[in-house]
Amino acid sequence: DVKVTQSSRYLVKRTGEKVFLECVQDMDHENMFWYRQDPGLGLRLIYFSYDVKMKEKGDIPEGYSVSREKKERFSLILESASTNQTSMYLCASRPMGGETQYFGPGTRLLVL
Amino acid sequence: GENVEQHPSTLSVQEGDSAVIKCTYSDSASNYFPWYKQELGKGPQLIIDIRSNVGEKKDQRIAVTLNKTAKHFSLHITETQPEDSAVYFCAAPSFGNEKLTFGTGTRLTIIP
């Protein structure tokens, strides 16, 4: 079974803090994705990565950056957290050429 | 880019009845339409998908229909059971199938 794990289930941070959300997959997938999920807005793509050290902006990249130094790990970085970044963050992975995305359980982030 | 609209946002049905969720898409070149189910506390998981060369696909109590002319596709769940209670997302590909655009989600509640 594909397993995608996220470092924290719940996280509380202060405005202005630098926040790291970590995602690890164990199936050697080339593609990885970061989404945020908000009520009434569905899943919106923040960034995705085709492979190690490669990244592409999604639909809402403002205020975020990413890092993919190793194939299995894709990190989402909030350089200076703001209250409007309070959300559920979901990571997903997919093999090259595949169609199914495999999601982690999500990190619920609260920025105070 | 692709625009996906999903209705209704919430749906309550009696156990044993059928549920239908509808999505429309904008890009006529889209050719792959997955449905994901998100149970409480978990990440979304693929439950069924359909490609543009077929009009309907079934998997036990779940079916998906596609109308390419009208650019809409629907999820049908028959003989609903309590474990069908979840949030359902439709999606369509964009960027040449490299990423998915998700609908805004439907919260389905099965009433015992």
Which residues of chain B lie closer than 8 angstroms to A101, CB-CB? 46, 100
Contact A8, A107 (CB under 8 A): yes
* Nearest residue, CB atoms, B104 vs list A42, A48, A99: A42
DSSP string, B48-107: EEEETT-SEEEETTEEEEEETTTTEEEEEE-S--GGG-EEEEEEEEETTTTEEEE---EE
Q: Is A2 on the interface with B (CB under 8 A)?
A: no
pLDDT number for residue A56:
94
Sign of CA dihedral A77, A50, A100, B102: positive
Segment B41-56 mean pLDDT: 93
Query: What does the mean pLDDT of chain B come to?
Result: 94
Contact A106 B98 (CB under 8 A): no
pLDDT class of B83 with cuts at 50, 70, 90: very high
Q: Give the distance from residue A81's alpha carbon to the nearest chain B alpha carbon, in angstroms.
A: 23
Segment B106-112 mean pLDDT: 97
pLDDT number for residue B29:
87
Which residues of chain A lie closer than 8 angstroms to B46, CB-CB? 100-101
Amino acid in the structure at residue B30:
S
Query: What does the mean pLDDT of chain A come to?
Result: 95
Contact A101 B100 (CB under 8 A): yes
* Nearest residue, CB atoms, A45 vs list B42, B43, B99: B99
pLDDT class of A71 with cuts at 50, 70, 90: very high
Per-residue pLDDT reduced to its tens digit, B4-31: 999 999 999 999 999 999 999 998 888 8
Segment A95-108 mean pLDDT: 94
Segment B27-50 mean pLDDT: 94
**Which CA distances in Å does B55 have to A89, B27, B36, B63, B71?**
34, 17, 19, 11, 12
Contact A7, A69 (CB under 8 A): no
pLDDT number for residue B75:
98
pLDDT at A26 over 80: yes
CB pairs below 8 Å between A and B: how many? Answer: 48
Q: Give the distance from residue A88's alpha carbon to the nearest chain B alpha carbon, in angstroms.
A: 10
